[in-house]
Structure 1
Amino acid sequence: MSVAVVFPGQGAQFVGMGKDFYDKFSNIRDFYSNADRALGYSLSDIMFNGPENDLKLTQNTQPALVTMSASIWSLIKDKVQPAFFAGHSLGEYSAVYASGGLSFEETVKAVHNRGKFMQSAVPVGAGAMSAVLGLDEDTVSKVCAGISKADYVVEPANFNCPGQVVIAGSADAVAAADVELKTAGAKRVVPLPVSAPFHCSLMQPAKEAMAEYLNNITINDLNIPIINNIDAAVEKSGADVKNALIRQVAGTVKWTQSVENMIAAGVTSFIEVGAGSVLTGLIKKINKTVETINISTVDDLGKL
């Protein structure tokens, strides 16, 4: 049996996240105090007590999710021998941390800055994202390509699972695509409550800022390979990891292909570590035969 450990991305957060682990395990508390110290404010208070609007601010959401994933991983890492790590969007940073590419404090600071860069790349309200349900990747890509032009951008942002593609771009262009995608056969097109259009070319300013940030820190070669988002490719070199993290900001998250590539490489079980169970649900839709476990609460530890 070959195992992959995967880490969730933005959208999985919730007020109270990680509090049961914090209360039960003294070593978990170190992660939260270290995150607070690294950021210079009480991220843990926002995670445990909210308000939800503060937790939903991208520069808080991203380090919150990394902190929860990293702390849970510390509890189970001696029980699991993964063949691969992977993470959805932001979750790729948790994967890099878990494989020794960055320290915890470096990871938290990097994603806090990533959140700020992504939020400031596009004025609030100027961008949008929608989930397209019941339509294949090629059709979604073709419809977007037929609409998109300079200053009127709409592109695939996430290939999440068969029949679920997220698009992102200029608010007007996304709205136009929503209509055309329904005409093309989409069962539903659902506008998403996001503050910026992630993973599309409108994120170019954030990509450039993240490149400058990451080029000033060292990412070590990894102990265990990750499957990156941008190419769905296997990586162990720190230089390749950094390059992929930079390209990922303004590029499509190829989650379906990432999971398929891990299964093709022999993975039969996936363990999702962190808030919620979004990735577990997506993986089941990609391949019904693999085993899936999610560790999001203390009670979930019994699943191992």
Structure 2
Amino acid sequence: MTLALLFPGQGAQSPGFLHKLPQHEAVGETLDEASRALGFDVLTLDSDVALRSTVAVQVGLTVAGVAVARALAHEGLVPQFGAGLSVGAYAAAVSCEAVSFGDALHMVRKRAELMESAWPSGYGLTAVSGLSETQVETLANAHARDGMERVYVANVNAPRQIVVAGADAALDAFASYALAAGARKAQRLAISVPSHCELLADAAEALLAWSRDIPFRTPRGVYVDNRGGRPLHSAEAIRADLATNMRYTVRWYDALTVMIESGANVLTEAPPGQVLTDIAREHYPEVAAFAVSNLPLGRLVPIVRRRLGDDR
């Protein structure tokens, strides 16, 4: 049995999510380390007001992911696979030891600042349920031909769970198109930038240049990327993935499928939320999937150990 650790992306956050992390020595040490690295108390990042900031959300998610990965490792649960959706990839890279925690925090902060400054308001993401990527792409083309501002396929989270990016008015109009075409739901997400599309091409290039001096290493274990849903084995490939994934479609379902087909059969999702767990359970019911947010660590660890065939 093989363990994969999954890290959620922006949109999973909720007020107080850092304060709800497991009470564990490794979590407390990680919060302290993050606060020292950034020069402020990271527990201020999860208030209602703070979560209006892309910077606060993305940094907070990285802190939460690394804290829980370290707590699990402390309990002997070291994953063979690591993958994160969008900004979750940074925590995955730290978990795989491809980049240091401090460097990842600074890179995430720069990423979020570039995203916010590129499109400070009037943009975001909408999740469309019930249509395929091909159907959504066809609708987006028709939407543009009708004179509306372009929307872009940003995430393929599952075969019929697609996220689109664009301007507020365009997203509102596209939601009507999608529902008329048979979508079950079209819902705006708590994200205020047009992530994972060409609108962030310049920001991605700026982050890639900014990150040139950050040391990356060959990962321990298997790091699975967002853009192609495939394992990356070199330090430079992981640097490029982290720096540029903001401009490319997130192919989470492909990443999930690659891990499972490569032998991952126990999945554990770092906080906050359980979106990635729900996707795995729906599409791969034969796999054991758990969300740390749903179980106290003292209960989760022995359950995962038993699933892995470890009777300690």
TM-score w.r.t. length of structure 2: 0.88
Match of 1:77 in 2: 73
Match of 1:39 in 2: 38
Q: Write the letter of the residue equivalent to 2:192.
A: S
Match of 1:173 in 2: 170
Deviates more, 1:85-94 or 1:282-291: 282-291
134, 152, 158: which is aligned to 1:138?
A: 134
Name the CA shift for 1:3/1:205 in 2 (closer, same or farther; >3 Å): same
Name the CA shift for 1:205/1:160 in 2 (closer, same or farther; >3 Å): same
Distance of 2:37 and 2:295 partners within structure 1 = 26
237, 240, 245: which is aligned to 2:237?
A: 240
Match of 1:261 in 2: 258
Q: Write the letter of the residue equivalent to 1:161.
A: A
SS in 1 for 2:289: strand
SS in 2 for 1:249: helix
1:190-229 aligned within 5 A: 190-229=187-226
Match of 1:272 in 2: 269
Deviates more, 1:26-35 or 1:92-101: 26-35
Q: Deviations over 1:205-235 (max 9, x none)?
A: 3212211222221211111111100000111
Distance of 1:136 and 1:20 partners within structure 2 = 35
- 1:281 equivalenced with 2:255 (yes/no): no
Q: Write the letter of the residue equivalent to 2:28.
A: R
Distance of 1:151 and 1:179 partners within structure 2 = 12
Q: Write the letter of the residue equivalent to 2:68.
A: I
Name the CA shift for 1:76/1:168 in 2 (closer, same or farther; >3 Å): same
Q: Is 1:10–1:62's contact at 8 Å kept on the other side of the alignment?
A: yes
Q: Is 2:54–2:191's contact at 8 Å kept on the other side of the alignment?
A: no
In structure 1, the gaps of 5 or more residues are none
Q: Is 1:62–1:90's contact at 8 Å kept on the other side of the alignment?
A: yes
Distance of 1:123 and 1:64 partners within structure 2 = 19
Name the CA shift for 1:9/1:71 in 2 (closer, same or farther; >3 Å): same
Name the CA shift for 1:69/1:192 in 2 (closer, same or farther; >3 Å): closer
Distance of 1:287 and 1:20 partners within structure 2 = 28
Match of 1:3 in 2: 3
In the TM superposition, residue 89 of structure 1 has moved relative to its aligned partner by: 0.6
Match of 2:86 in 1: 89
Name the CA shift for 1:261/1:145 in 2 (closer, same or farther; >3 Å): farther
In structure 2, the gaps of 5 or more residues are 302-312
SS in 1 for 2:258: helix
Distance of 2:165 and 2:20 partners within structure 1 = 35
SS in 1 for 2:128: strand
90, 112, 116: which is aligned to 2:113?
A: 116
SS in 2 for 1:289: coil
In the TM superposition, residue 12 of structure 1 has moved relative to its aligned partner by: 1.9
- 1:249 equivalenced with 2:246 (yes/no): yes
Q: Is 1:131–1:167's contact at 8 Å kept on the other side of the alignment?
A: yes
Q: Is 1:132–1:167's contact at 8 Å kept on the other side of the alignment?
A: yes
Distance of 1:254 and 1:26 partners within structure 2 = 34
125, 129, 148: which is aligned to 2:125?
A: 129
In the TM superposition, residue 168 of structure 1 has moved relative to its aligned partner by: 0.4
Q: Give the alignment's Cα RMSD to 1 decimal.
A: 2.1
Match of 2:61 in 1: 65
Distance of 1:193 and 1:277 partners within structure 2 = 16
Distance of 1:96 and 1:210 partners within structure 2 = 16
In the TM superposition, residue 115 of structure 1 has moved relative to its aligned partner by: 1.0
SS in 2 for 1:244: helix
Match of 2:307 in 1: none
In the TM superposition, residue 189 of structure 1 has moved relative to its aligned partner by: 1.5
Q: Is 2:125–2:192's contact at 8 Å kept on the other side of the alignment?
A: no
SS in 1 for 2:217: coil
Distance of 1:20 and 1:181 partners within structure 2 = 36
In the TM superposition, residue 190 of structure 1 has moved relative to its aligned partner by: 1.6
* Aligned pairs, number: 299
Q: Is 1:161–1:285's contact at 8 Å kept on the other side of the alignment?
A: no
174, 179, 182: which is aligned to 1:182?
A: 179
